[in-house]
Structure 1
Amino acid sequence: MKSTLHPLTTSTGRQPLRRSLIATAVTLALTSGGLMAAETTLEQMVIIGTSEEAKRLPGSGAVVDSEQLKTEVTTDINQVMKTVPGVYIREEEGDGLRPNIGIRGATGARSGKITLMEDGVLIAPGPYANPAAYYFPTTMRMSSIEVLKGAPLLRYGPQTTGGVVNMISTPIREENGGSASIGVGSHDTSDVHLHYGGRSGQWGWLVETAERNSGGFKSIDRSNRDSGHHISDYVAKLGWESATGPKQSALLKLQRSEETSNKSYLGLTDDDFDADPNRRYGLSSIDQMVNDHTGVSLSYSRALSDSTTASATLYHNEFARNWFKLFGGGSFVDDANTGDANAQGILDGSVDVAGLDYKNNNREYESRGVELNFDIDMGLHRLAVGGRLHEDEMDRFQPVDTYDQVNGSLVFQSTKAPTGSNNRLEEADATSLWITDDWQVNEALNVNLALRYEDVESKRVQYADVARTTVDKTVSNSSDEWLPGASLTYDVTPSWQLLAGVHKGFSPLGGGAKENQEPETSTNWELGGRYNTGKLFFETIGFYSDFSNKTENCSVGTPCSDGSTSGSFVNGEAVIAGLEAQLGTEFNAGSFTVPVNLAYTHTKAEISADNSVSGQQKGDRLKDVPENIFSARVGLEHPNGWNNYAVAKYIDETCVEVGCNNSSAPRQETESLFVVDYISRYQLQKNTELFLKVENVFDEQKIVSRAPDGARPNKPFSVMAGVKFDF
């Protein structure tokens, strides 16, 4: 296997003007500041705050707080996001390494249609040019996860249709100390999370690591290689805040992670899945992902007056990956599903085959930018005014290794040099501006007004030779959009609140977009009500997204509806509408406290007008959007420190291709899934807690994905036991 990463080549045609703008913005950032509309000292940039604040948003949202993350021993972002209403999950490899998260009108392929942030900083490898989340922060080291929907999300971007996910990393402690969580379990799994830090005078600091190891739950035919992963993630923070004079603070954050995971795109035929969902064909035995991520951010905040705060963040992220894997293996699966004995023999290893292509899916990404913001408190009006200059790029250099299968073994033959789509550069330059007004009209009525501007220029250059002296093809695209929005809450009584909102959604097309393609835009509505007495919280919200131009981002992992594996595909007009509901309460049962949290989402997502270009028709269901999702979290807590919890999650079947409801072709849907997890925690001493987690208690495995190359299962019955202690 060849896994050498091609060095990033400087992209051509970069605008000198933008470079000078970046330099000017950096100067402004260091002298005055500007980022998030949030009150912080040495800490992360939150967009909502606490779970209680989420219950009064002039829009809709949720906060998965540190208590839930700790209680449920969360290592897989997919599982915790299933408990948030309005969020769609398509699992892939069972461990949550490459999540597919969708929110309301934003479908979930590679999480490329939602805005992903860590501590307020864009974290997708190429948020504009290549937003597909092949990198995702390690969930173990997060202290909370925020999900923001509705018109207030216009404060953030670039994806403004469905929602924002902001992951809040471990905070700097108020006093010197640390914490360690160590767990071991099924499939040779071990998870370790350590952090230590504190404060001294005006300074604060933190060092942290998360180490994840697993042998994987799949068994590979005729191979000694496991199907697991190894991840090392390191973070260091250094903060400062003023002791005298104007209130000031600064925070430097450094992050580095490395991953090796023996994961594949090759799934199973339906018959083989039914016989053993945890099998992997020997054709995928040499498939492996190797990647590393480096992130640096520097934020600064300064009070300019009693009513005005300026803040700034500079950020730079680099991500390099080589996912070496079989290319085109889905054709064998498709043929075997139709009864082709030769294709089945190739999958089983009993039939020799020549000319198998294993592509070095080798890419390097870089993103950088500066955000400036001014928060102005005018009493009844609280304004946020700011902007962001951002650049991102991807260097794709993908040689293809050819193997033959001989007597069930893979024999290397040759390497093909990358040309065309395998040898290309993509880039995007973006300017974003925003102004929001949180207006307390009177004691009962709060109005939130927002206006965002996005100006995006993208470009792709494909080369015909390894030296990149001959250009094979060039495409470019530019778009600019004004995105207005308004939302409100009205307190009918101290317990009852109404909310409503409307905003324009936007999704950039990516670096492969052609000149005449328009970005995805939509009009998004929400209307609902809340009831909150402290002990009981209930919320129900209807949402409606009307797309004038629904688009898909194409990749090998998530092919578009026309089969394309790069660029964009336009579906045309579409409507996604639904209802979210959640309930939270707790009651006493003898000496026990019983917390209960329920969440439900119903969605109807379909093409709303015939499209002669795409061939899609009115009424065709969109892919990756389940009709019904439900979760229930129930606890049994006792004063002696022994607490038990059950988490149940249900998700409907989903379309694999647009229009599966109007197609007679087989295997066009995933299967519905119901899974129950059990967690038990015992407070052994003041600073020491034991935990036991059983995932998928009833060992229920279904086809949760068919993309791109066959049927894939969720994680089977698994057990983990461990200890957490503070020091």
Structure 2
Amino acid sequence: MSMYKRSLVSIAVITALAPVIAPAAPPESLDKVLIIGTEEQARSLPGSGAVVTSERLEQEVVTDVNQVLKTVPGVYVREEEGTGLRPNIGIRGATAERSEKITLLEDGVLIAPAPYSNPAAYYFPTAMRMSAIEVLKGAPLLRHGPQTTGGVVNLISTPIPEDRGGELSVMFDERGSTDVHTHYGARQGAWRWQLETVQREVEGYKDIDRSNRDTGFDIADYVAKLGWQGDDQDILLKAQYSEEISNETYLGLTDADFNADPNRRYGLSSIDQMDNRHRGLSATHTKDWNERVTSTTTLYRNYFERDWFKLSGGGSFIDDANSGNATAQGILDGTTDVTGLNYKHNNRAYVSQGVQLNVDVAAGRHLVSVGARLHEDEMDRFQPVDVYDQVNGSLVYQSTTAPSGGDNRFEEAEATSLWLLDDWQVSERLNVNLALRYEDVSSSRIQYGNAARTVVAATRSNESDELLPGASLTYDLDQTWQLLAGVHKGFSPLGGGATANEEPETSDNWELGLRYRTDALFAEAVGFYSDFSNKTEYCSLGAPCSNGATSGSFVTGEAEISGLELQLGSAFKQGQFDIPLNIAYTFTRAEISADNTASGFNSGDQLKDVPEHVLALRAGLEHSSGWDSYAIAKYIDEMCVVTGCNNAANAFDETESLVVVDFVSHYPLASDVDVFVKVENVFDEQKIVARTPDGARPNKPLTLSLGMTHRF
């Protein structure tokens, strides 16, 4: 039976059962693109989470999702190019390699290029068109998936307005960059619609040796929504298209060159460029069967193609130069000629599609959710290599090599997911959330022996299924204090390159916390612990595994990740000023927990991409006239680049700690027009925030921007 025939059968069965099992109590109103809801709801979850509201995104004029997620407890961000094009996001036990160990959603729909076979987030939605960001952790995340260890990030796109209207926002920075975001929509009778676009023309902040090419990017992103609402049902169609051309590279710097000028780029990277396109379609149908039963059905399809043309193997020159090799340094500087430089067309196409159904049933003190998702995705890799020589500091084309080996392959995965959740209000004080998820995944790879793909060189496949239980609770000690606790089983699928004998990564995850809530103050402390029997790294050029592999996966062995998340939010009034204050802190210890002769790691070796300390402070000064200003300070500790860096005594195996302060100020010129100034990295602090891929890489330097927002 095909995937879509199976999906129709599953939907028919669940939909048919829904009215039969309906109990006699009205459900609460649920917005189906949200996984948490409001900021207040996040502060009472039978789990832990956070909501970055639309007001905050507007206040901070967010263009880089990395910067706002650094202020969310339990989230780790490893920057790459300093502008947030391809985020590396980790949450608790899910480490940050290319955001592939967390579940990424847009409006509740899987958005990674190929969430099961190739989840590495080489595509990430444009942050400027998001109206909110939700981060969900703990047992309730079993409602989502496939990644269920650390957490879920759900990006909420701009909603259709209640009344006819729109907004235009324009921003310019000191380097000549231009960012434009505009949307307009209306409702008339049962119909509603909206058109939206983001246009970004960003000048890079780096300078390439012997080249006049900039290091920036151009992004054009378009979204159209059309909805219809009847008495008891709602239909929403969404179409998205975006394209990006960015002069980005994998080649970083040696430490000596970074210390001399962190914003330098070697001439070897002058022809590197990413070219990508993304198309997304979704259709969501919500129906209220009666006062107690609501179903939501979503069909979705995402297509992503990209060709990242860039130098391959540049990391070896960096490593040799860092070790004092004068020839390697001369090649990087362009003073030494070299032959046989490989510039690979990292050319891949991804398809991700599926159908998902969820039915919510209110039954007295219970709100039961039962659902299913049938999903398939694929990745087609066809990567020719252009060969260049460096002659007198210039790159001279020589030949093209047809794809072979791992550069010529096709991977796919099919998955069936089922879930059952019971949100049980046991008493006025006690709420219990019970969750059960089932994942059945099959994946395969075909590797071709020739460019025409008439010869199959190798095949592999893997099948796995996991039952993932979880339970969590909140208990109100009184009107201000609340206890929360939870445990759930985590799961991370292996990917399309898995062999038959490999087992997916699983973990046992615990959390225990305490909340304090009054009208003026919110405080929360949550301890978390994840125990892995087989911690696994996904290998790619962008995020090589700790053994150096750039494809497949690498099992590092038993591991434990534990830590503490603290957040504090308050606001007080001083004269004509409101002063909001927010603090978020995360402490994490992430280590191999048992000697592993196969991987070569020992108990106590630190895991990669997990900082020990992350701290964010946010303060506002909001005047009664509407002149509002905000300062955001963020600290992130150094991180291991490879597992075990703490016991390797190699200075090139970890990043540097960093403190960055941003400032934003808004002033209302009229009731519908605001102007603003934004200063990123006020003190111009630049450190080595990443060493992968291929060398030391900086954060964004001091940047001044001016802008205007007009509501119409």
TM range (shorter): over 0.9
Q: CA deviation at 1:624?
A: 0.3
**CA 254–26 in structure 1, closer or farther in 2 if over 3 Å, else same:** farther
- 1:242 and 1:20 map into 2 onto residues whose CA distance is 28
Contact 1:583 1:597 in 2 (8 A): yes
Alignment-mate amino acid for residue 436 of structure 1: L
Q: Which moved more, 1:229-238 or 1:582-591?
A: 582-591
Counterpart in 2 of 1:12?
none
Contact 2:10 2:372 in 1 (8 A): no
Counterpart in 2 of 1:441?
426
Counterpart in 1 of 2:184?
196
**CA 250–133 in structure 1, closer or farther in 2 if over 3 Å, else same:** same
Q: CA deviation at 1:26?
A: 7.4
- 1:233 and 1:707 map into 2 onto residues whose CA distance is 28
Contact 1:32 1:302 in 2 (8 A): no
- Are 1:543 and 2:528 matched, yes or no? yes
Quick one: which of 128, 132, 136 aligns to 1:148? 136
Contact 1:33 1:313 in 2 (8 A): no
Counterpart in 2 of 1:387?
372
Alignment-mate amino acid for residue 661 of structure 2: V
3-state SS of 1:56 partner: coil
1:77-88 aligned within 5 A: 77-88=65-76
- 2:125 and 2:29 map into 1 onto residues whose CA distance is 22
- 1:188 and 1:266 map into 2 onto residues whose CA distance is 25
Quick one: which of 408, 411, 419 aligns to 2:404? 419
3-state SS of 1:140 partner: helix
- Are 1:224 and 2:225 matched, yes or no? no
Q: Which runs of 5+ in 2 are unaligned?
A: 20-26
Counterpart in 1 of 2:664?
679
Counterpart in 1 of 2:24?
none
3-state SS of 2:606 partner: coil
- 1:574 and 1:620 map into 2 onto residues whose CA distance is 9
1:270-349 aligned within 5 A: 270-349=255-334
Quick one: which of 66, 77, 100 aligns to 1:89? 77
Quick one: which of 178, 182, 192 aligns to 2:170? 182
Deviations 1:295-318 (A, max 9, x none): 000000111121111110000000
- Are 1:366 and 2:351 matched, yes or no? yes
Counterpart in 2 of 1:171?
159
- Are 1:604 and 2:589 matched, yes or no? yes
3-state SS of 1:661 partner: helix
- Are 1:158 and 2:146 matched, yes or no? yes
Deviations 1:316-359 (A, max 9, x none): 00000000000000111111111111111100001100000000
- 1:260 and 1:39 map into 2 onto residues whose CA distance is 45
Q: CA deviation at 1:571?
A: 0.9
- 1:40 and 1:32 map into 2 onto residues whose CA distance is 21
Deviations 1:588-610 (A, max 9, x none): 22221110000000000000000
- 1:475 and 1:694 map into 2 onto residues whose CA distance is 51
**CA 292–31 in structure 1, closer or farther in 2 if over 3 Å, else same:** farther
**CA 411–119 in structure 1, closer or farther in 2 if over 3 Å, else same:** same
- Are 1:573 and 2:558 matched, yes or no? yes
- 2:18 and 2:600 map into 1 onto residues whose CA distance is 50
Deviations 1:359-406 (A, max 9, x none): 000000001000011100002010000100000000000000000001
- 2:476 and 2:208 map into 1 onto residues whose CA distance is 58
**CA 504–29 in structure 1, closer or farther in 2 if over 3 Å, else same:** closer
3-state SS of 2:40 partner: helix
- 1:574 and 1:145 map into 2 onto residues whose CA distance is 30
3-state SS of 2:407 partner: strand
Q: CA deviation at 1:707?
A: 0.4
Alignment-mate amino acid for residue 483 of structure 1: L
- 2:514 and 2:592 map into 1 onto residues whose CA distance is 29
Quick one: which of 235, 238, 245 aligns to 2:223? 235
Alignment-mate amino acid for residue 188 of structure 1: G
3-state SS of 1:199 partner: strand
Counterpart in 2 of 1:473?
458
- 2:185 and 2:573 map into 1 onto residues whose CA distance is 38
3-state SS of 1:424 partner: strand
- 2:341 and 2:458 map into 1 onto residues whose CA distance is 27
Deviations 1:65-109 (A, max 9, x none): 001100000000000000000000000000000000000000000
- Are 1:717 and 2:702 matched, yes or no? yes
Counterpart in 2 of 1:209?
197
- 1:32 and 1:405 map into 2 onto residues whose CA distance is 68
- 2:619 and 2:612 map into 1 onto residues whose CA distance is 24
Q: CA deviation at 1:23?
A: 5.2
Deviations 1:171-205 (A, max 9, x none): 01011000010000022211110000010000010
1:521-540 aligned within 5 A: 521-540=506-525
- Are 1:117 and 2:102 matched, yes or no? no
Q: CA deviation at 1:457?
A: 0.3
- 1:81 and 1:658 map into 2 onto residues whose CA distance is 24
> Percent identity over the alignment?
65
Aligned positions, number: 705
Alignment-mate amino acid for residue 644 of structure 2: G
Quick one: which of 73, 77, 95 aligns to 2:61? 73
Counterpart in 2 of 1:254?
239
Q: Which moved more, 1:392-401 or 1:633-642?
A: 633-642
- 2:622 and 2:665 map into 1 onto residues whose CA distance is 10
Q: CA deviation at 1:454?
A: 0.2
- 2:363 and 2:400 map into 1 onto residues whose CA distance is 65
3-state SS of 2:98 partner: helix
3-state SS of 1:667 partner: helix
3-state SS of 1:421 partner: helix
- 2:519 and 2:709 map into 1 onto residues whose CA distance is 30
Q: Structure 1 stretches (4+) deviating beyond 4 angstroms?
A: 23-34, 38-41
Contact 1:32 1:311 in 2 (8 A): no
- Are 1:127 and 2:112 matched, yes or no? no
Contact 1:232 1:257 in 2 (8 A): yes
Contact 1:653 1:671 in 2 (8 A): yes
3-state SS of 2:329 partner: helix
- Are 1:643 and 2:591 matched, yes or no? no
Contact 1:33 1:301 in 2 (8 A): no
- 1:670 and 1:39 map into 2 onto residues whose CA distance is 47
**CA 329–340 in structure 1, closer or farther in 2 if over 3 Å, else same:** same
- Are 1:408 and 2:379 matched, yes or no? no
Quick one: which of 551, 567, 571 aligns to 1:586? 571
Contact 1:332 1:343 in 2 (8 A): yes
**CA 140–281 in structure 1, closer or farther in 2 if over 3 Å, else same:** same
- Are 1:57 and 2:55 matched, yes or no? no
- 2:382 and 2:668 map into 1 onto residues whose CA distance is 52
Deviations 1:558-608 (A, max 9, x none): 001111111111011000000000000011222211100000000000000
Quick one: which of 508, 515, 518 aligns to 2:500? 515
**CA 356–39 in structure 1, closer or farther in 2 if over 3 Å, else same:** farther
Contact 1:29 1:313 in 2 (8 A): no
**CA 607–437 in structure 1, closer or farther in 2 if over 3 Å, else same:** same
- Are 1:431 and 2:416 matched, yes or no? yes
Q: CA deviation at 1:33?
A: 10
Q: CA deviation at 1:27?
A: 7.2
Quick one: which of 546, 557, 580 aligns to 2:542? 557
- 2:700 and 2:32 map into 1 onto residues whose CA distance is 33
Q: CA deviation at 1:224?
A: 1.1
Q: CA deviation at 1:215?
A: 1.4
Deviations 1:235-272 (A, max 9, x none): 000001104xxx10000000000000000000000000
Contact 1:25 1:370 in 2 (8 A): no
Deviations 1:427-462 (A, max 9, x none): 000000000000000000000000000000000110
- 1:171 and 1:202 map into 2 onto residues whose CA distance is 16
Deviations 1:9-39 (A, max 9, x none): xxxxxxx5435324545778999999xxx97
Contact 1:33 1:373 in 2 (8 A): no
Q: Which runs of 5+ in 1 are unaligned?
A: 1-15
Quick one: which of 357, 360, 369 aligns to 2:342? 357
**CA 637–688 in structure 1, closer or farther in 2 if over 3 Å, else same:** same
Contact 1:44 1:171 in 2 (8 A): no
Q: CA deviation at 1:552?
A: 0.5
Q: CA deviation at 1:635?
A: 0.5
